[in-house]
Structure 1
Amino acid sequence: MEATAMSELARTRQRALVDQHLTALLQRLDTQGWDATTVDELAREAGMSRATFFRTFGGKEDLVFLDHETMLEQLEAYLSTTDHDTASALRQGLLLVFRHHLEDRDRTQVRHRLLRQSPALRNRELLTSHGYERVFRRWLRGRLEQDSLRGPRLGPADAEALSASLAGAGVALHNACLRRWIRDPQDGVVDELSEQAQKLIQVLLQGYAAGPDAARSTIEEAPQRPVAVVTLVGEHADREQIVEAVRKALS
């Protein structure tokens, strides 16, 4: 019990140091250049020794994404305790992560600029996105199993596919909205993500609940739209030649 309390205290102190110094350190990397900035210079910027810097922040790549570790823990804690239905909980989880980026606009924009300086950072960003997908997918599998007990039954393959689809599509939508906000920060972006996420989640959940026959019938019953066809025929072509030319164009 005492060891656990000491470990939690150490983590709390580490998070406090991260919150205190992270944005300034990222700005130093941005202004001086990713390759031109050394760990020793970052340690001096934070007012600590090289060894303490590594214990607190890790290496340079770890530093750039360090706040995501805390965010992933917060996301898992939310998903494991929420009483919302599956669709609402998934949407709120995406918004929780999104608001984290918006809380420190400077940090988010500096990190985005740093990604353009280093291919290694861009690869690390992909791994970070996959981390969020894994958290959502693991939670969704459990939730969908519970939902199947109360509603339409999903087989293991469908549950796995739906979990992966919802997690991947949700994170992709989150990232698209975030990149758009970084380029052009506007009010209302949270509401926009919330609305788009709700539509996306409902389409996937309702589609799986209805089954393939319903999707197929919807496609078959969709009204046929007029099609414009452009083709070339001779100046003196008769009706049969024109019809044949159109038929070939359509085929």
Structure 2
Amino acid sequence: MSDVATSAPAARTAVVAAALELFATQGFDQTSVEQIAQAAGVSRSTFFRQFGGKDDVVFTDHEQLLEELRDFLARPHANPWAAVCEASVRVFTHFAADPELARRRYGVVREVPALREREIITVFRYERLFDEYLREALPGIDPLDAVGYAALVTAVHNHVLRQLLRGPKRVPVAALRRALDDAMRRFGVLDDAEPADDDVVVAVFPKRMPRAEIARRLGEQLD
């Protein structure tokens, strides 16, 4: 066993894969940490140091993704609404890169009530992250617009991701982008065309567009 080797992302993925394989074949409750460590070729102490427990090894990707999205959203973004969608795409791209592993994880979570409950909490963490980001990026935004948009993007993402997880067919990231564009259009925040550069600007906005977004767009043009 090599504790040093397990520090690499590929090695962590190997541990996750070994754990999910055991969970799928012999059951979550029937699988011990010792069995996972042995199957993955790491020590028991290394497993606990890197993952914490059996539940954590199932959701370790989400913990890493949430941290990456916090860093991504902390950067400047010209369109905060689009930034939330791009964050969603990053999550989908991660799981679509290894669909078989993602499907195995999905199957395990569906069979274990405690894991399903944690999955619900994890989904809410993404939604809350998007909500908090919009409130910070768009001062004065109506809280209902922020939470509503965060919930919409999260729901659209989960719907497309489930299409990938529930069947053998490949679901391209373009499918999610199209769905998110439609969600932005329905919310009234999709930039369908570049505004004209002129001395006089006549602005027409959908009634459903949040006031904070109207103010942001007008501010951009006036600047």
Q: TM > 0.5 between the two? A: yes
List per-residue Cα deviations over 1:90-112 (Å, max 9, x = no partner).
22111111111101112100111
Alignment of 1:172-183 (within 5 A): 172-183=155-166
List per-residue Cα deviations over 1:104-149 (Å, max 9, x = no partner).
112100111101221000001001101111111111111221xx6x
Looking at structure 1, the residues matched to 127 and 165 of structure 2 have their Cα atoms a distance apart, in angstroms, of: 21
Which residue pairs with 1:107 in the alignment?
101
Which residue pairs with 2:27 in the alignment?
33
Runs of 5+ unmatched residues, structure 1: 1-9, 149-153, 212-251
Aligned with 1:116: secondary structure?
Answer: helix
Which residue pairs with 1:228 in the alignment?
none
Which residue pairs with 2:191 in the alignment?
none
Q: Which of the two has greater helix per residue?
A: 1
Aligned with 2:71: secondary structure?
Answer: helix
Which residue pairs with 2:210 in the alignment?
209
| CA 1:188–1:125: 2 relative to 1, 3 Å | closer
Larger radius of gyration: 1
TM-score when normalising by structure 1? 0.69
- The match for 1:193 among 152, 176, 185 is 176
- The match for 1:54 among 15, 38, 48 is 48
Which residue pairs with 1:66 in the alignment?
60
Q: Which runs of 4+ in 1 moved over 6 A?
A: none
Moved more, 88-97 or 120-129: 88-97
Runs of 5+ unmatched residues, structure 2: 189-205, 213-223
Return the letter of the residue paired with 1:52.
Answer: T
Contact 2:157 2:176 in 1 (8 A): yes
Looking at structure 1, the residues matched to 126 and 211 of structure 2 have their Cα atoms a distance apart, in angstroms, of: 28
Alignment of 1:1-251 (within 5 A): 13=7, 15=9, 17-145=11-139, 154=141, 158=142, 160-187=143-170, 189-205=172-188, 206=206, 207-209=208-210
TM-score when normalising by structure 2? 0.77
Looking at structure 1, the residues matched to 118 and 61 of structure 2 have their Cα atoms a distance apart, in angstroms, of: 14
| CA 1:45–1:126: 2 relative to 1, 3 Å | same
| CA 1:209–1:116: 2 relative to 1, 3 Å | closer
